[in-house]
Amino acid sequence: MPLASSPSTSKRLLTLLSLLQSRRDWPAPVLAARLEVSARTVRRDIERLRELDYAIDATRGPDGGYRLEAGSTLPPLLFDDEQVIALTLALRTAGSLGAGVEEAAERALGTVSRLMPARLAHRVASLAHTSSRTGAVQADPAVLLRIGESILDTEELRFDYASPDASDAPHPPPVRSVQPHHLLLHGGRWYLLGYSPADADWRIFRVDRITPRSHNGRRFSPQHVPGGDPARFLAARFKGSTGADDWPCRGEALLHAPLAEIAPYLGDGTVESVAPDRCRVRVGSWSWGGLAAELCRFTVALSDVEPAELRAALSSLSERAAAGAATADASG
């Protein structure tokens, strides 16, 4: 039975390489059948790939075959659509690794973007609207791409949102509709930052809780996030602030301990030494009660506490702690 007309040598080599990357072992007759060429042509194509520094071993056995192995250099690779999307996401979030690979990742991303097929270029381009913070991606890439496409096309996004308290509600939660503006990675999770016309305000949604619905085709005009920096806006919301990226409650106190005993455990705050056994700490929190508890993490004496709201919160915390201890004594 004559073989069908074979594709050009270059196209056939790319197809052969893609097959070799897809599984470990390929019997020679199977490769010949997949490529619709003779076994002799397969052998010649294998030799051409070896000349391009691909390490391909011949396998023994009744049929004989080939196996793609790791070589001394990294030759050109082929990726399917899902691999391209995964690679793009990984490169865009490389800055979160803290390993000094940001510049190399940006160059690699540029190479991938220039070479990817046109059918993927539009979808992957939408991922340019991301901003990375520390953490790992915990969202469905298909949902990320869907949101990214809506951002790129300035099209309202309709979706179901699995709120933590939704199971206790007497009725199913309504379908959300927002104007999506940014995808951001913060603390190990992806978030959608969008403007809600119904609420006349900006809203933040966890992407892993979003189930997109069909697009309604309604376009919108992009707006500027308050403050101009989406990442700082998101960070401010997590701190309980509706304005700048800062804690809404800030205070300071003199801790009766050396700076070396306090600084390693301070976290988001500053400390300065004022004496060998004293240091001044300045910290922030989402509430005055939370700020008081932050200072009380350190089992040392406090003094010179400012402002008055923080002193009041410390007094309240002391009273509640004393009441809790008294209750425990009474029950004993």
- Mode of pairing for the β-strands spanning 176-186 and 130-131: parallel
Digit-by-digit pLDDT tens for the chain (332 residues) are 333 334 577 778 878 887 887 777 888 888 888 888 888 888 888 888 888 778 888 877 666 788 887 765 556 666 777 777 777 777 776 655 544 556 777 777 777 777 777 777 766 766 655 554 444 556 787 888 888 888 888 999 999 998 766 555 566 778 899 999 998 887 778 899 999 998 888 999 999 899 998 876 789 999 888 878 888 788 777 766 665 556 778 899 999 999 988 888 887 788 899 999 999 999 888 789 888 998 988 889 999 999 999 999 999 998 888 888 887 655 55
* Tokens read off for 7: 């594709």
For 281-330, give the DSSP string.
EEEEESSHHHHHHHHTTS-S-EEEEESHHHHHHHHHHHHHHHHHHHHHHH
Rounded Cα distance, 300 and 310, in Å: 17
From the number of C-beta atoms within 10 Å of its C-beta (0-12, 13-18, 19+), residue 313 rates as buried
Task: Residue 307: name the closest of 252, 270, 248 by CA.
Answer: 252
Predicted confidence at residue 4, as pLDDT, reads: 39
Count CB-CB contacts under 10 A for residue 288: 22
Task: Quote the pLDDT of residue 277.
Answer: 92
Domains and CATH numbers, the chain: 9-69 (1.10.10.10), 81-167+175-238 (no CATH), 249-331 (3.30.70)
Kind of pairing, strands 65-69 and 157-161?
unpaired
Half-sphere exposure of residue 239, counting CA atoms within 13 Å on the CB side?
A: 21
Taken in order 264, 270, 273, 278, is the CA torsion positive or negative? negative
Beta bridge partners of 122: none
Tokens of 300: 């040392």
Under a CB-based contact definition with an 8 Å cutoff, are residues 85 and 145 in contact? Answer: yes
HSE of 276, CA atoms in CB hemisphere, 13 A: 0
pLDDT at 246: 65
Question: What is residue 125's predicted lDDT score, i.e. its pLDDT?
Answer: 67
Q: How many CB atoms lie within 10 A of CB 303?
A: 9
Residue 145 CA from chain centroid, whole number: 13
CA distance readout (Å), 264 to 259, 277, 295, 304: 9, 16, 14, 22
